[in-house]
């Protein structure tokens, strides 16, 4: 994207405030309805505004939804890129105005890609999957507590909590299934992914929620594996040939693919043979499983792409 045609508006997001910087001004506003109204008025002064902000663990969602609703271009940047840029510029200090300045300078020098509005149903699945993950983590903690010595009253309390959390997880999972039923496309993708041995409901839900790009016909194999953080990067220098490592990407996708690969390494004969073959050639189990994760992801991409081709044909 050529950002020279846009008026860059850098926004540093925190829980209660937005720090904003443009070519002409710098200001801070409250992160509430009143402040967002003020932001829109100021943005309307520009012919082609482009809001640039970094992901902040969910705080950005309200701003992103508003900008998409008002058809204002927005680019959501991985915060790791911003921090790396700041280090490359020798910037060690950190404050809201400094962070906003870094975002603005980053936006001027780097090629940015506009973040499209999310599909409402996929976004709802992502929210529900996040809640399911929270409940699952709490369930694991309660089960771990059962392994320790407790009095009878404490044990009964833990058992009640376990039963309650399990019921909540069932409720969330039921809600996810209902959301998928609302879309023929999501339903077709969900069913197609589960034809792969090792890929269950949770993995399919995670792909629908966190990797919507998987059905993009213009996205190649290397790009989809990079998005998931499963693309191996070279570590060579001169005659030195280092081991290739994966890094970055979407942890939520990797986590679900890891469980899928573990299951497939046992029950899916093709993946089992693939993993065994890699290990027989000296690869560690972890490396073989990572390769299996990549293979499963590419297979899922092929399946979903074929579905998309059927829809456009």
| pLDDT tens column, 129-157 | 999 999 999 999 999 988 877 788 888 99
CA distance 15 to 183: 34
What is the value of pTM for the model shown?
A: 0.81
Fold entry, domain 3-109:
Nucleotidyltransferase; domain 5 (3.30.420)
CA distance 312 to 251: 31
- Please count the other Cβ atoms lying within 10 Å of the Cβ belonging to residue 39: 23
Average pLDDT, the chain: 88
Which pLDDT score, from 0 to 100, does residue 243 have? 59
User: Can you give the residue ranges of every domain in the chain?
Assistant: 3-109, 120-182, 207-312
Burial of residue 157 (number of CB atoms within 10 Å: 0-12, 13-18, 19+)? middle
**Residue 184 in contact with residue 192, Cβ under 8 Å?**
no
Q: How confident is the model at residue 253 (pLDDT cuts 50, 70, 90)?
A: very high
Side-chain-side CA neighbours of 185 within 13 Å: the count stands at: 15
Q: Note the pLDDT tens digit of each residue in 75-117.
A: 999 888 888 888 888 888 788 888 899 999 999 888 888 888 8
**Is pLDDT at 3 greater than 80 in this prediction?**
no
**Residue 30 in contact with residue 53, Cβ under 8 Å?**
no
Say which residue, 4 or 269, is predicted with more confidence. Answer: 269
**Is pLDDT at 162 greater than 60 in this prediction?**
yes
């Amino acid at each position: 994207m050529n950002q020279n045609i846009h008026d860059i508006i850098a926004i540093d997001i925190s829980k209660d405030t937005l720090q904003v910087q443009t070519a002409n001004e710098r200001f801070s506003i409250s992160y509430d309805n009143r402040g967002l109204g003020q932001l829109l008025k100021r943005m309307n002064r520009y012919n082609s505004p482009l809001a640039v902000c970094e992901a902040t663990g969910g705080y950005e969602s309200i701003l992103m939804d508003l900008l998409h609703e008002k058809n204002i271009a927005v680019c959501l940047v991985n915060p790791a890129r911003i921090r790396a840029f700041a280090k490359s510029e020798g910037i060690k200090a950190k404050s809201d105005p400094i962070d906003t300045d870094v975002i603005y300078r980053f936006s001027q020098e780097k090629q940015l890609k506009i973040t499209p509005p999310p599909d409402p149903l996929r976004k709802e699945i992502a929210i529900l999957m996040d809640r399911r993950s929270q409940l699952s983590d709490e369930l694991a903690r309660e089960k771990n507590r059962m392994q320790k010595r407790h009095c009878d009253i404490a044990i009964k309390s833990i058992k009640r909590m376990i039963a309650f959390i399990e019921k909540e997880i069932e409720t969330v999972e039921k809600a996810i299934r209902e959301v998928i039923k609302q879309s023929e496309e999501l339903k077709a993708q969900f069913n197609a992914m589960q034809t792969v041995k090792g890929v269950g409901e949770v993995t399919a839900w995670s792909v629908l929620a966190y990797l919507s790009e998987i059905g993009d016909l213009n996205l190649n194999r290397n790009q989809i594996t990079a998005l998931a953080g499963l693309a191996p990067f070279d570590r060579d220098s001169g005659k030195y040939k280092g081991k290739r490592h994966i890094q970055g990407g979407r942890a939520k996708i990797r986590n679900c693919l890891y469980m899928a690969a573990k299951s497939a390494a046992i029950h899916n004969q093709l993946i089992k043979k693939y993993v065994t073959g890699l290990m027989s050639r000296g690869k560690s189990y972890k490396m073989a499983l990572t390769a299996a994760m990549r293979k499963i992801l590419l297979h899922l991409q092929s399946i979903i792409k074929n579905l998309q081709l059927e829809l456009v044909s």
